[in-house]
Amino acid sequence: MNDTNEVTTQETMTHVRNTKRVFKNVRKSDTTLFVTIREAYDALFDDEYPASHKQNLQWRRYRLEVEEFCDKSSLNKIVSICQNDLIMKNIDRLPVAWSTLSTLDVLLKTDDETVAETFVEFLDSAEITVSSTAKSIVALFRPEVEKAEEVDPPSQEPKITYDSSIYTDEQLDQIEEALSTLEALGFVIEDVAEVSEGEADASTDDLAEAA
């Protein structure tokens, strides 16, 4: 690194511009991901039939192929986000973090029509921006909950434990969709089957080292 005293404002701004360009490219890539999956959903999924129906065979096949490089939990969240018209219409004005958009998705899934209007107002007033966090968005929609948590914070994170090994693939799709909603609300999700598998692998490694 050069002597700090020798670094000029021009050099600093050059780095700022380079970083800004890369940042925009990353954001564009993340946004494109949601748009691409929404296009696949619109083309392959027939919402007049349940996901398990033969009419939606190609959508299930698409998901299985995508799960080869994107874990099922993340894909469930992304698909749910992509199904939300309010989010997709305003995707360029929103943060691209999956967890933040997933939280927003949960907040917007309500029969209360005023919530959608309030959401647009938050966008127009720049109270929700591309740099918003999940916590700040929840505080906007549920200020009384946020205030209560500050006064009397929970002693520990809520936790849900389940065993994926005892369910069929179709049941797991339904379970994981529900769990992804709870995870977005702050629940810790633990699959005991994965924990057991991890412990078994660790024991195997220990035995191999001992040998």
Q: Residue 208 phi/psi, 5° resolution?
A: -65, -40
Cα–Cα distance, 110 to 203 (Å, whole number): 47
pLDDT interval class at 13 (50, 70, 90): confident
Instruction: Judge whether 167 and 89 are in contact, CB under 8 Å.
Output: no
Cα–Cα distance, 37 to 159 (Å, whole number): 30
- Token pair for residue 149? 């948590």
Cα–Cα distance, 104 to 106 (Å, whole number): 5
pLDDT at residue 191 is higher than 90? no
What's residue 155's pLDDT? 45
* One-letter identity of residue 95: P
- pLDDT (mean) for 129-134: 92
Considering only CA atoms, which of 91, 11, 133, 126 is closest in space to residue 19?
11
pLDDT at residue 35 is higher than 50? yes
pLDDT interval class at 158 (50, 70, 90): low
pLDDT interval class at 203 (50, 70, 90): very low
Q: Which residue has the tokens 């991901």?
A: 33
Higher pLDDT residue, 31 or 101? Answer: 101
Q: Residue 178 phi/psi, 5° resolution?
A: -70, -40
Considering only CA atoms, which of 137, 130, 71, 131 is closest in space to residue 105?
137
pLDDT interval class at 96 (50, 70, 90): confident
Mean pLDDT, the chain, rounded, equals 78
What's residue 207's pLDDT? 45
